[in-house]
Chains A and B, each alone.
Chain A
Amino acid sequence: MREISYMEALREGLRQSMEKDDRVFLIGEDIGIYGGAFGVSAGLLDQFGPERIIDTPISEAGIAGACVGASVTGMRPVGEMQFSDFVVLAMEQIVMQGAKMRFMFGGKAELPFVIRLAGGSGTGAAAQHSESLENWFVHVPGLKVVMPSSPYDAKGLLLSAIEENNPVMFFEHKLLYKMKGDVPEEMYTIPIGKSKIVREGKDLTVIATSIMVPRSLEAAKILSKEGIELEVIDPRTLKPLDEEPIIKSVIKTGKALVVHEAVKTGGFGGEISAMIMESEAFDFLDAPVRRLAGLDVPIPYNRNLEYHAVPQVENIVEEARKIVQNIY
């Protein structure tokens, strides 16, 4: 199969959706001539013109509001938050309006919009351009939250998100844009709400999201040499969460570690941990469920501090080893 980058996979997904369905349009800051802050929409303006590739003023509330309004009238907008941090300015439109409208109109309104957000640290972009805010939206009924960790998943999930008749928050990771992987040329979808066992193992279930998936796989390779076999699960969709494969895996391994980049306190790891303990996997737990996550600090500008503020491969190796060896 052909290898392309995560960014190219997203672009291809957008292009194919727009070719197939002329209700689909893109709206965001610098997505036209400039091609998007990370180049995802490069070249699309030439193909689809300014009617469908809409450059906006610097107004995230405007982008989100346009998505809500257009979607409720039958369009399928894809809005872009240049940096996921800026979504704070769009919260009213997304949370107050977009998430609730379908329910408040007794199911008579459909809101098929997607907000793409470039999240995560590791680029030296400091506190206001490096956050991982996905769990804010997990907490809001009416929104679906998707977080692909590979080029293949990026395209397949994006196509599903665009076909979805409810608002989808689509979290991309800045460091993953250059990641290469096999991606089919044709259109395909990966269902929202389906997790993926990306590596099988018997000793510990690692539930990782976004960039933490490749890091966990790297850690698994290292630990495998010590005879420790990690089972790595990528939920891919945080909401609705595909619980069963996680529960089954924990029943098998008896141990679980959740790894995410967002800060630990109030993060998605707490949700996964609680879900495990409420499930039938509880009786099979042979160690406390642990969370490895970002430190409770704004991402520092200093590159060394930034590195240590979020889980790295070596941290995952160490934490997983401790759990397997019953140190906790």
Chain B
Amino acid sequence: MAKEIIMPKFGFTQEESEIMEWLHSEGDSVEKGDPIAVVSTDKISMEVEAPETGTLSGIRYQIGEIVPVTEIIAYILQPGERLPEIKGIEKLSKIESPKVKKDQILITPIAKKLADENSLDIDAIKGTGPQGKITKTDVENSLALQRNFEPGKERATPAARKIGREKQIDLSKVSGSGPKGRIQAEDMKQQRSKRIDEKSVGKTIKTSIPMIGMRRTIAQNMKHSWNDAPHMTLQINIPMDELEILREELNSAKQSTAEKISLTALITKAVAVVIRRSPIINSQYTEKEIKILDQINIGIATALEDGLIVPVVHHADKKDIKQISDEIKDLSLRSKEGKLEPIDLTNATFTISNLGMYGIDSFMAIINPPQSAILAVGKMTKFFVPAENNLPMIQKIISFTLSADHRVMDGAQAAKFLSDLKEIILDPKGLID
């Protein structure tokens, strides 16, 4: 019987993967264990291996398609074997692998079925049912909206079309606010004023970046966070001189850069220690409760060429400064090579984002859900400040900005965290025990 190749599940919460590349074509002979496809989860690329030796056949998804985990993506055939009838298999696989319900997205069964059949991303659908439940009509509307983009087949009222003709607005570029995405006259008027804005700054599209993979994940997470979590931001300037002295002491004996303790490592350690005193910072918001977490896992936001990943230092409060520094270096190296494993990227409970190396003085970061807070670190700058005798002295100062979810905590709690952080950075001996 034809051997099914299924989309593997790499992580606990992973629901789908995108086909990035087929390493073999249909008809190729493959050996058991050969990598046959590259797939991408939200964060990293993985290889799918041949489950058996034979001929690769019946590829069911093309590059760029997003496939739910455990879904059959292709088959391995032995000589004389035939592909199973796709229809039957589809039904079977549906029964065997009911897809995991997305977090907090309510959807009726018929709507879910319809969305699945049309590979529609339910994240992007706005539910109109009770508690925002996505109904069949919502899915249908969403599908109609997609169809709206068929050039020349846009759904539009005669009034909208008239404006389009007169003002030379391409209907395919307008998103409709009417039923099933129908373009109304008002939409055209808005589009027109938008277009005038664009014209005035000479804006034209140079290239288009498809919203897939990591870009899509970032977009969704940030949108959810920004829409759902009321962000409050608090800023504090902390003199870093004492921490710098400590770092020099720690590094004085070390020769190579590889061994040296980084400032990021020290800040990570300081944050982990301070979180122990303010457990509310290390929590997750849900509709029913705030979960204060036991583990302190610090994510370090890391820029990539075309996106952003957040490798995690697990149990940062329990590790010494050397361990943390080594771990961050290792994660950073592997992230640049694309060799991070799912475990490296999961279960962060708090995130640090440092843009100091770009010369940024201070900034406000968006909380990475389901976390409750994120710390934005600016660059170290020398300032003249009045010393005790009121004469100027130089201090190296970093501006720290905490974004915290106001549903979870209040200003005073966030302030306490920052003032504790300042205290430990001013007197950092406690960081080396």
Contacts and interface: CB of A to CB of B under 8 A. Distances in A.
Contacts, number: 30
B308 interface: no
Nearest to B188: A286
B158 A284 contact: yes
Nearest to A328: B179
A286 B184 contact: yes
B158 A285 contact: yes
A254 interface: yes
B184 A327 contact: no
A283 B157 CA distance: 8
A284 B162 contact: yes
A283 B184 contact: no
Interface residues of A, number: 10
B158 A326 contact: no
Contacts of B185: 254, 286
A282 B158 contact: yes
Contacts of A96: none
A198 to B, nearest CB: 25
Contacts of A326: 177-179, 182, 184
Contacts of A187: none
Nearest to B160: A286
B161 interface: yes
B187 to A, nearest CB: 10
B137 to A, nearest CB: 11
Contacts of A127: none
Interface in B144-169: 157-162
B161 A283 contact: yes
A327 B177 CA distance: 10
Contact of B179 (A254, A284, A285, A327): A327
Contacts of A287: 157, 178
B121 to A, nearest CB: 25
Interface string A316-328: 0000000000111
Interface in B311-359: none
Given A254-B185, A326-B184, A283 B179 contact: no
Contacts of A285: 157-159
B177 A286 contact: no
A283 B161 CA distance: 7
A285 B159 CA distance: 5
Interface in A220-257: 254
A69 B160 CA distance: 55
Contacts of A283: 158-159, 161-162
Contacts of A286: 157-160, 184-186
Interface in B169-191: 177-179, 182, 184-186
Nearest to B185: A286
A154 B159 CA distance: 37
A284 B159 contact: yes
B147 to A, nearest CB: 18
B129 to A, nearest CB: 16
Interface string B9-43: 00000000000000000000000000000000000
A261 B179 CA distance: 28
A282 B159 CA distance: 7
A328 B178 CA distance: 8
Those 10 A-B pairs whose CB atoms lie nearest each other, nearest first = A283-B162, A286-B159, A285-B158, A286-B157, A326-B178, A286-B185, A284-B159, A282-B158, A283-B158, A254-B159
Interface of A: 254, 282-287, 326-328
8 contacts: A254-B159, A284-B162, A285-B157, A285-B158, A286-B159, A286-B186, A287-B157, A326-B179
